[in-house]
Amino acid sequence: MVTPSTPAASLNAALFDPDDLQLAETLRPASNSRESAGRQFEELAMIEPRLRNIAADASSSRWSVARYEGLKRRAARLVGWHAANPLLASSRCYEVVVWHLAGLLRSRRRAK
């Protein structure tokens, strides 16, 4: 039981569960490599093929804030909290897709 007289170190130990850290590690973005992001994106695109259309638009577009925001809105209809498919209804799925799309736009920007 935690009481007002419990030292701060004991309080932190009582509130911290090491399993929470392991869970957080699994939810972090994958390594910052394009290969890893592309692999995860492809797994999601196998579930929702319309994601490939969005990716094709990103890879053929030049970078702009308006383009980026438009791609995010399109992706949000298919992945994330409001996705119709429960397999894609998580912030992690949304994060993977948006990170991949941003990478496609950035690579197009460098290919001037």
The answer to which of 6-10, 23-27, 43-47, 58-62 has the lowest mean pLDDT is: 23-27
Instruction: Encode pLDDT of 14-27 as tens digits.
Output: 433 444 334 333 44
Nearest partner of 33 among 41, 43, 24, 25, judged by Cα: 41
User: CB under 8 Å to 34, separation ≥6 — which residues?
Assistant: 103, 107
Higher pLDDT, 79 or 37: 79
The residues near 72 (Cβ < 8 Å, ≥ 6 apart) are 98, 101
pLDDT, mean of residues 87-108: 89
Q: Break the chain into its structural domains and give their ranges.
A: 32-110
How far, in Å, CA of 45 to CA of 54, rounded? Answer: 10
